[in-house]
Amino acid sequence: MIKELCRKLKEKRKEMGYTLEEVVERTKLHPSVVRDIESGNIHNISPVYLKGFIRIYASFLNVDTGSALEEITPPSKIPRRREPKTKKKDYTRIAAKFLERLTGLVSNIPLKVKKGAILVVLALLAAWLLFSGLRCAVKKTAKFFNRAKPQKVEAPAETQAPMPQIDTSKEIVVSLTVKDKLFARVKVDGDILFEGILNRGAVESWKADKEIELKLSDGSAVYLEVNGKPVPTLTSMHKPIKSLKITPSGISVDK
């Protein structure tokens, strides 16, 4: 059922006339996620997010998912290992037994010696108890601060899809469709042919013999084609493109 739903989503998109780029712009899903859903390669998508991605795509195309999403089961949670509880030592009981045994051993010793020995033992015992308590408190404090340290989370690096090959036997033709308002500067063979604001929906085209260079204020706001071949999304976020050079030897991007 889930494969049938993926096929239905692809047919519905084509029926409504949406391109993959328009779907990505409207749903904010990654292009690879949309392609994997339409091709049925759902094993490439994390099962934690798969059901949510399909629900977003189906809602955008107004397609009823039915009971197909029930086939997707999230990974089972790994139970946390509980640390065994350690019993606290009863230092009072230990001290009482120690004194009881000590009293039996020194019953035949003179009274003055007994008192002195007992005082020494009590002093040593008090020092031992104090040291044990301080060591336990230090361990608990260190454990608390180790837990309180926040873990550094690194943001995933943005991946760049491979650029299309350019037919060097032809002149360079670049077509640009504006998805959102932005500033652009276009240099053709070293000369600036355009510099200004492009509004949403505008379609522009330029030709060159050697090189076309674009500077864009928002790389996600345009859809580009070079000699009729689509250029992958320059960036999935609203970031400027300092230089996009298109020559017979290839395409280079400087963000």
| CATH number of the domain that residue 54 is part of | 1.10.260.40
What are the start-end ranges of the H helices in 17-171?
Answer: 20-27, 31-39, 47-61, 91-105, 111-148
Whether residue 21 is contained in a domain is answered as yes
Instruction: Compute mean pLDDT per 10 residues along the chain, 255 residues long, and list them.
Output: 87 92 91 90 86 89 85 61 58 75 65 73 82 71 63 56 65 92 95 94 92 94 91 85 91 88
Same domain, 56 and 125: no
Question: Cβ–Cβ contacts within 10 Å for residue 172, how many?
Answer: 21
User: Same domain, yes or no, for 12 and 47?
Assistant: yes
pLDDT at 90: 66
Q: What is the pLDDT of residue 32?
A: 92
Q: What tokens does 58 get?
A: 């189906």
Largest CA distance in the chain: 116
Q: In the listed set 71, 101, 129, which residue is the last one of a domain according to the structure?
A: 71
Q: Is 133 a member of any domain?
A: yes
What was the pLDDT predicted at 19? 93
Residue 173 pLDDT: 92
Q: Per the structure block, which two tokens stand in for 112?
A: 């003055």
Contact call for residues 1 and 54 (beta carbons, < 8 A): no
> In terms of domains, do 54 and 11 share one?
yes
- Dist CA 160 CA 23 (whole Å): 19
- 61 and 108 within one domain: no
Residue 145 lies in a domain: no
HSE-CB at 240 with a 13 A cutoff on CA atoms is 9
Number of domains in the chain: 3
Provide the residue range defining the domain that includes 126.
Answer: 91-138
